[in-house]
Every structure is written in structure tokens, then in C-alpha cells.
Structure 1
Amino acid sequence: MRAYDVILKKRNGEKLSREEIEFMVGGYVKGEIPDYQMAAFLMAVYFRHLDEEETYYFTETMMRSGEVLDLSEIPGPKVDKHSTGGVGDKTTLVVAPLVASAGVPVAKMSGRALGHTGGTIDKLESIPGFRTELSLEEFIDNVKKYGIAIVGQTGNLVPADKKIYALRDATATVDEISLIASSIMSKKLAGGSDAFVLDVKFGTGAFMKGFEDARKLALLMLKIAQQHGKKAAAVLSNMDQPLGSAVGNSLEVIEAIETLKGNGPEDLKDLSITLGALMLELAGVADFDDGKKILQTKLETGEALEKFRILVKAQGGDERVVDDPWKVLPVAEQVVEFSAEREGYVSKIDAEKVGIASMVLGAGRKKKEDRIDHRVGIIVEKKIGDSVKKGETIAKLFVSDRSDVENALKLLKEAYVISDSPSKPPRVVEEVIK
């Protein structure tokens, strides 16, 4: 078998066999197929796509390229949650302790920030002392003991995806639905959970801009889960504005803690409870509506907040963050205000530009090896539907000496549209697919 023939076959729109897909992925991981041939293959897939069966083979091959975790030592069903990434998306910090407080073990592997969306691991590392790298034994032991652990992905989990994703990023082949689905689901399946809740985002702040494309992606990932004998559900959530108010690592941890105290923004709370209720349903603890009520009670009684405290302490973090996050977390002292140039109503926010503004302040990464600054970020004071007076603060920028404030302000100016008449704010949960 030759790579040339497989590339030609896909370029011509023909269906690939399991063996041909295994040959391409396996050969690339071993270094037998060079970058230029894999890049040509990915471009052929970008234009010709993989059908459901090919996507299944591609996912399966990537999943088996490294370690597949066995979480069977942890009693009870293990339910994982995945977000396709959005601006201000700190739901894992709320959902994980919320679900764990209801008695469902949460063994969560999360990623780091790349581009305009934040990474859960970077956010947790804002907490002084918090360890995101645990051995597999420690990870499993913590879940057994405390019902919760959140760690970075292990080095040998789906090496094929790491290598292929880096090439997709460099060759403009990231936003193809079958490749996105394979990338996400290979990691989820290798992570060893029994069921998955997928938060598939659409809108200006998401990778998938259109609702229909996001829905297509959700249905394909649900199909892959089903083909692997796993339960799954999906939420289609709107990212036409940042989720909550905080964008940036320490600021998002503060907002997550406030949400666990019952004081968080409604959109973040609604999405977190929806995702959490689906996790309880897949675990067989309660149906969706009862699950929502259970989680609302866990917020009101403070049990979810205490579970977050347990998580922080168990992984070496300073648990005082729960009581006084502003004091414990590193937050930039210098604040720059972005003000309205005219009176009116916020009618549109380009959430991606808000995310990039936070990134140029230092809260995100342009390249994988960039270091992030946990102190900086943006608090959005005005969202879609809000009225503003001329000169009123729309957003606060928390900046350091290294921040590109001028560029960030320019991006925010481009992101906001202020109109004469009020607009209806978008609802965050657009559809639940079970």
C-alpha cells in the first residue's frame, strides 16, 4: 500500500477502507509517512469529507494510537463532559463539583488554551499550588476517595491526534466536521469514561459559527459514541457573546466560585445545570428534570462549593481561594476601562474578538509554547440587550506591563455594536439532543 494511492483515492471522492485509514494514521505516527503527504491527505479529506463509517475508523485508529485508560477501579458509572470551546467558558469548574456533589464520580481530563478560547487546566493553575499533573494511580485514587479529580491529558493519550492536529492547525484543515469529531471523540474514548455529555458551541465566539454545522457535529459525535457502545447526549449552546462576564484565567475561577455560591451570572448557571443534569441522567441517578432540581439544591445548600474546596485541597491548591478568591488568586492591579462612545443598546458582540482581546492582554496563547499570564483578562459589564450611556463602562481590562492594551481596546471597539433600539439577548441553551 502507498500513501500516494490513498491520497488519490480520497481526492477523487472515493470511500476508504479501515486498512487504508490505519495505514495513513499509523504510518504518520511512526514517521514513515512524511508531513507533506499527510497534509495532502488532510486537504483531500477537507474537500471530500469522511462518511460516518470512515469517521468511525479514523476515530478508532487515533484512539488506539496510545494508552486507553481503564477507570473500572472507580465504582459507579463515569460520565465525562466536553466543550468544543468558547469565550468565557468556565463550565467545567462549576459542573464537575456540582455533579460530584450529587454522588456521580467525575474523572476529568481537560486541555489548555490555544487561540481565543480558554483552557480548564490553565484556569485551575491560577490557584496557588494546584497540581494538574497527577500520575494515573493518583488520579484514580482521588476520584475513589473524593469523587472528583481534574487533570491535564497524559502524554501518551492519543498521540496520533496531537501530531495530526498540529498539522491541521498549520495547513488550514481544522474546521472540517469529520476531522473535528474524530479528534474530540478519540480523546474522550481513550479517557475511559462510560458516557459523555458534549457541549457543542456555535456563534461568533465558537469554532463552529453556524447552528446547523454545530448540530451536524453534535449528531456525528453522538453516533461515534453509540458505535463504541457508550451513552452520550449533547447540548447546542450559543456563543454569540461571552459566557458569563469574566474572560481570563483567575477572573474565570472567581466567577466559577461565585456561581457555586449561588451568585453567578444566569447564563453560566443555566448551562452548567443543563450539562450537569444530563450527566446525572446518563449515570442513571435521575431523569433530566429531576436532575436539574437536585443540582439547584446542591448549589443552595453549599454542597457543590464544598466539593470544589475538596478538589482544590486534594490537588495541592490553596483552599482559602473558596472563601476569598480576590485575595488568593493572582489578579492584575492595573485596570483600564473600555467605555461607550454613544448612547443606545448593545445589539451585537463579536465574542471571538473579545476572546482575542483577552489573548493579546496575555491570557491566552498564539502558539502552543507561549506562556500565559493568569493575572490578566476582561470583565464584560454590558451584554446584548443592555442599555448604555455615552462614556459608561462596557468592559474592564485587567492588564500587566506585557499586555498589548492598545490592540485589545481596538478589538473591543470592533466587537461591540450599539444600536438605537434594544435587542433580545440570545438564550444560551439552544437545543438538548439525547
Structure 2
Amino acid sequence: MIPQEIIRRKRDGDELDAADISSFIAALAAGQLSEGQIGAFAMAVWFKGMSRAEIVALTLAMADSGNRLQWTDIDRPIADKHSTGGVGDNVSLMLAPIAAACGLAVPMISGRGLGHTGGTLDKLESIPGYIITPDANLFHKVVKEAGCAIIGQTGTLAPADGRLYAVRDVTATVDSIPLITASILSKKLAAGLETLVLDVKVGNGAFMADRGQAEILAQSLVEVANGAGVKASALITDMNQPLADSAGNAVEMRNCLDFLAGRKKDTRLETVVLAFAAEMLVKSGIAASSDEAETKARRALSSGKAAEVFARMVSMLGGPADLIENPDRYLARAPIEKPVPAARSGWLAACDARGIGVSVIDLGGGRRHPADRIDHRVGFSELLPLGTRVNAGEPIALVHAADEAAAERAATALATHYRITEDRPELTPVIAGLV
């Protein structure tokens, strides 16, 4: 295999065969390619694209670049969900235990925040003692005994993806649909999944702001996953406002605990969580229809079974066993909590969700640089949803900050992220489509 020949052929728009792709990725994983060669390959793919067969071959080669997890001793369907990222998106934290309570095994490998979006691992690290990178034996034990485990990617799972992504990040090739598809799915294949449901976000708070591009990505993910042997579907969901009423780390974890304990109901977040739970259960054969699946999911919530699964997962991964009952004992609070007043009376008609995510980073709740330490305490809570009628001076959110100056800056910024109108707005549905 001569790397520059493969790069040249892709640069010229040729279709690569599976053997060439496999050889190139094997060399990448073995450290035999220079960063220049990796970057040139990524740029050639960005410009020329890939056929569906090429993307399947790339995905499989990256999944095979490390270990593949095996679940042969677990007699439940192995399922997972992946989100393309948003603001106030803590669906995974509730979805995994609900799905597990309904009979699925959910080995959920999640990531940290990327850009303005929050990361599931950062939220979990607000729990004292929680081990986000357990060894393989503990990961397997938690999935088998608790039903789900939410952890971070280890270096042995799809390592080629890690090296390729690092180069993409600095060569302006992150937004290539073939490369996004292979990156997401290679890790899911390595996790040994049988079924996968994908959450493709669209809106001003998502990486895909255009509905057409979101549909193209969703179609690519579903077709490639199915082509690689994993039964998959995708929901396209709205990200023109934060999904939960909180954005941050500990504040979103509190939101999760309130949700599982039955203290948060009839929200956009609940609609999305139950829709994904239903899709997972139908896809895995646990339920025959969406209505039956949603009924099972609601029962898992109302009975407390999902909360029990979450509590057991947290405890087995080093966290406190009574987290749901006593969140204030374990989740640190920011020293300053400041209400954000509405600038005028009227209807909350629109917001800059991306701006809200950036404001969380400005508070210290995200990273500007990979080595930055996160302040898990900070963020926003009690965010009012769009379509709410407010009076001037009425709180539209609560800022959680490390000091008064940061709280004041964040409150001022948040107020500018909302548009208040005299007329009641027409809102887009939170679930925009199914692929």
C-alpha cells in the first residue's frame, strides 16, 4: 500500500475499494502515516466525498483498528443512542436507564463537550467518585448487572478514529459527512451494538443549522449503520432553544435526577426522551409498536424502576448510592445564583441557543482549550421555554456563577440571547422527522 497513491486517487475523485481503505486505516492506526498524509486524505474526502460503499468500508476499518466488545453472556438486546450535540441536551442520562429498565442492555460510550455543546462525560463528572473510564471488566459487569453504563471512550476502541479526528480538528475537515459518519459509527460498531438510534440535531444551537444538511447526515448515518450490520434509525430534533431548562454540568445533572424522580414532567425534554426510548424498544424487538413502547417507557419512569437502574449504575461506577434521594449532599452549588430579568413584557419568541452554550463556557462550564479545567457548578437553570408569556423584570432564567462579576456578565449576555415579541410565536415541533 502506497499512501500517496490512495490520496491521489481520492483527490482525483476515484472510488476507493475496501482493501485500499482498510490498508490506509491500518497504517494510520499503526502510526505509519504522517500528519500531512492524514490531513491530505481528510481534505480529499472533504472535497470529493465518498460513496456509500466507501463510507461503510471506512467505518468498518476504523472499528476494526482496535478491540471490539463482546456481550455473548448477556441475554438482552444490545442497544444505544447517539446525539450530534446540542445545548441543554441531557437525554442520554435519562434514556439509558429507562431503556435498561425496559429490558435492553445499553453500553453507552459518550464524549465530552465539543465547541458550544455540552458533553455527557462532563456532566457525569459532577458526581463525586463516578468513574468515567472503567476497565473493560467493570464496564461489562455494570452493563450486565445494572443494565446500562455510561462511560468515556477508551484508547482500545476505534483508536484510528482518535488520530484521524485530531487531524481533522486542525485542518477544517470536521464537517465532512462521510468522516462524521465513520467517526460516530466506528465507535458504536466497536461497542458491539445490535441496534442504534441517532439524534440528529438541527437549528441554531446544533452543528447542522440547515434542515436539508441534517437530513443528509441522518440518511448517511442510518444507511451506513445498516450496511455495517447494525439496525439503525434517526430522529431529527429541534435545537433552536435549549432542550432542558438547564445548561451546564451539575445543573443538568440535577435536571436528570428530577426527571427520574418524577419531579419534571410534560416538557420538550420528556417528549424527546420518550420518543427515543420508544424507537429503541421497537428497533430491538422489545415492543411491537411505538405506542406500546412509550407505555413501557412511561411505566419504567413512574414505577421508579428507571431511577433504580440509574442509582445502581452510579453506585457500581464509584458514585454515591443515594444520589437521587440526596442530590444536594453531592452536587456542588455555585456560590452566586442570580435571576435574569426579562427586558420587556411579551412572548419569548426566539433565542440564540448557540449563544447560551457559549455563555456557559464563558462562566467556566466548558473548555476554550483541551487542557482547561471545568467548573461543574456553573451554568443556567430555570430557563423558560419559547412560547412563554413574561412580564418585564420577571426572571427568565437563573445564573449559577463563581463570583458576582461573572454572574452579571452572564445575566447580561443571556438576556440578549432571547427575543421578546408582542405576538405569540408559532413554535416548531421538537421532533422534526424520522429517517
Which TM-score band (shorter chain)? over 0.9
CA displacement 1:275-309 (0-9 Å, x = unmatched):
11111112211122101011111222222122222
1:278 aligned onto 2:279: yes
CA displacement 1:28-80 (0-9 Å, x = unmatched):
33333221232222122112111111111111111111111112222221111
- The letter of the residue matching 1:382 is L
State how far apart, in whole Å, the 1-side matches of 2:173 and 2:412 are.
29
Structure 1 residues 394, 183: CA separation in 2 closer, same or farther (over 3 Å shift)? Answer: same
State how far apart, in whole Å, the 1-side matches of 2:431 and 2:285 are.
22
Counterpart position of 2:369 = 367
Equivalent runs, 1:8-407 vs 2, <5 Å: 8-264=8-264, 266-287=267-288, 288-401=290-403, 404-405=406-407
Structure 1 residues 264, 44: CA separation in 2 closer, same or farther (over 3 Å shift)? Answer: same
In the superposition, the TM-score normalised over structure 2's length comes to 0.94
Structure 1 residues 390, 342: CA separation in 2 closer, same or farther (over 3 Å shift)? Answer: same
State how far apart, in whole Å, the 1-side matches of 2:74 and 2:68 are.
15
CA displacement 1:238-268 (0-9 Å, x = unmatched):
1110011111111111111111122325111
State how far apart, in whole Å, the 2-side matches of 1:411 and 1:41 are.
41
| 8 Å Cα contact 2:338-2:411 kept in structure 1 | no
CA displacement 1:128-166 (0-9 Å, x = unmatched):
222222221111122222222222112211111111111
Bigger mean CA deviation after superposition, 52-61 or 137-146: 137-146
Bigger mean CA deviation after superposition, 390-399 or 87-96: 390-399
Q: Please give the secondary structure, in 1, of the residue aligned with 2:179.
A: helix
- The letter of the residue matching 1:365 is R
- The letter of the residue matching 2:53 is E
State how far apart, in whole Å, the 2-side matches of 1:199 and 1:177 are.
15
CA-CA distance at 1:425 after TM superposition: 2.8
Structure 1 residues 231, 388: CA separation in 2 closer, same or farther (over 3 Å shift)? Answer: same
CA-CA distance at 1:329 after TM superposition: 0.6
Structure 1 residues 75, 397: CA separation in 2 closer, same or farther (over 3 Å shift)? Answer: same
Bigger mean CA deviation after superposition, 246-255 or 396-405: 396-405
State how far apart, in whole Å, the 2-side matches of 1:326 and 1:428 are.
31
CA-CA distance at 1:401 after TM superposition: 4.3
CA displacement 1:161-196 (0-9 Å, x = unmatched):
111111111111111211111110001001111111
- The letter of the residue matching 2:240 is D
CA-CA distance at 1:404 after TM superposition: 4.8
Over aligned residues, Cα RMSD in angstroms?
Answer: 1.9
- The letter of the residue matching 1:290 is E
| 8 Å Cα contact 1:360-1:407 kept in structure 2 | no
Q: Please give the secondary structure, in 2, of the residue aligned with 1:108.
A: strand
Bigger mean CA deviation after superposition, 103-112 or 186-195: 103-112
In the superposition, the TM-score normalised over structure 1's length comes to 0.94
Structure 1 residues 403, 281: CA separation in 2 closer, same or farther (over 3 Å shift)? Answer: farther
- The letter of the residue matching 1:416 is Y
CA displacement 1:376-412 (0-9 Å, x = unmatched):
1112532211122222222221011498556544542
**Among the aligned pairs, what percent are the same residue?**
39
State how far apart, in whole Å, the 1-side matches of 2:133 and 2:333 are.
23
State the aligned residue count: 433
Q: Give structure 2 stretches of 5+ with no counterpart.
A: none
CA displacement 1:112-133 (0-9 Å, x = unmatched):
2232112212211211222222
State how far apart, in whole Å, the 1-side matches of 2:135 and 2:371 are.
23
Q: Give structure 1 stretches of 5+ with no counterpart.
A: none
- The letter of the residue matching 2:395 is T
CA displacement 1:228-247 (0-9 Å, x = unmatched):
22211211111110011111
Bigger mean CA deviation after superposition, 375-384 or 76-85: 375-384
State how far apart, in whole Å, the 2-side matches of 1:102 and 1:30 are.
41
CA-CA distance at 1:205 after TM superposition: 1.2
Q: Please give the secondary structure, in 2, of the residue aligned with 1:201.
A: strand
Structure 1 residues 106, 22: CA separation in 2 closer, same or farther (over 3 Å shift)? Answer: closer
State how far apart, in whole Å, the 1-side matches of 2:238 and 2:84 are.
12
State how far apart, in whole Å, the 2-side matches of 1:106 and 1:28 are.
30
Bigger mean CA deviation after superposition, 1-10 or 263-272: 1-10
Structure 1 residues 392, 83: CA separation in 2 closer, same or farther (over 3 Å shift)? Answer: same
